[in-house]
Amino acid sequence: MKLASIKGPVILDIPADPPAMFIVRALVGEISSRIGFEDEETDKLVLAVDEACTNVIRHAYKNSSDKRIVITFTLGMDCFEIMIRDFGSGADPSTFKGRDLEQVRPGGLGIHFIKSAVDKIEYDTPPGGGMVLKMIKFMPLQERAQN
Amino acid sequence: MKIQIDERKPGVFVVSLGGDLDMSSSPQVRNILLPIFRKKASHIVVDLTDVPYIDSSGIATFVEALQLSRKDKVRFSLAGACRRVESIFDLAYLKNIFEMAPDANQLVEGEQGR
């Protein structure tokens, strides 16, 4: 079945708990494959969404697993959009910087992985607090033509 | 995460991991892997054959181990990484920083032990 025939977004509301992240990875992988992204692109997308959720757990929620992460998947005519909503303390996106990749030290890779996987990222601070990270990946050309 | 430690030769340890190496399992791996450096090890091999996925926290654990290996002059290698795991090291510009081999047994066979 073509994903384009699904009306409206798919919403995953999940505990901000590391053992639950396999569910996110499985869903992203399945949707990405069905959209028609190559395995390598799918792997990068899975990693990016996983890293974004990990950042929420670690930084926005300070490892408090009783909070929620809401992930909204939307398939447009020419792009796949993944929106990650948290209800944490919020932060200034200009401070989100990965480490210099020339340096070999632990940490600082998450942002780099996210940027490598998608074509565009946007941050928003919605009313009610927390943050929204929107990741946009353009569809493979063949799929765009069919949509 | 399944973790098995095997001292194949005196000072030559193979740490076999099974399962996703992510934020959930990395602390467990870190707590088991890093103390091996204090066991008079000469070579530590992490066998990733049964690890289908790794994230930045898993990579951070290995970077920490690599730093410890340089400090303690212990050889540290990764073996058996699948295409997906290897590509994540590549994405982090770390593929050439680690000693990576296709097979743990191959690495151990060439070792004399302590």
Instruction: Please name the residue of chain B whose CA is at the shortest distance from the CA of residue A111.
Output: B56
Q: The pTM is what? A: 0.89
What CATH number was assigned to the domain covering residues B2-107? 3.30.750.24
Any idea which residue has 């757990």 for tokens?
Answer: A57
Q: What is the DSSP letter of B21?
A: B
What CATH number was assigned to the domain covering residues A3-146? 3.30.565.10
Torsion of CA B57, B63, B64, B68, to 10 degrees: 160
Distance, CA of A52 to CA of B70 (rounded, Å):
31
Band the pLDDT of A2: cuts 50, 70, 90: low
Chain B neighbors of A102, CB-CB under 8 A? 93
Say yes or no to pLDDT of A1 above 60. no
Distance, CA of B51 to CA of B62 (rounded, Å):
14
Q: What is the DSSP letter of A77?
A: S
Q: Please, which residues 50-69 of chain B have a Cβ atom closer than 8 Å to chain A?
A: 53, 55-57, 59-61, 63-64, 66-67
Residues 6+ apart with CB under 8 A from A139: A35, A36, A78, A79, A80, A147
Band the pLDDT of A145: cuts 50, 70, 90: low
- Type and span of the H or E element at A41: helix A39-55
Distance, CA of A135 to CA of B32 (rounded, Å):
36
Chain A neighbors of B23, CB-CB under 8 A? 18, 21, 54, 57-58
Distance, CA of A42 to CA of A28 (rounded, Å):
8
Q: For B28-38, what is each residue's pLDDT tens digit?
A: 999 999 999 98
Q: For B86-106, what is each residue's pLDDT tens digit?
A: 999 999 988 889 999 999 998
Structural contact between residues A51 and B55, judged by C-beta atoms closer than 8 angstroms:
yes
Q: Is B54 exposed, middle or buried (0-12, 13-18, 19+ CB in 10 A)?
A: buried
In 3-state terms, what secondary structure has residue B27?
A: helix
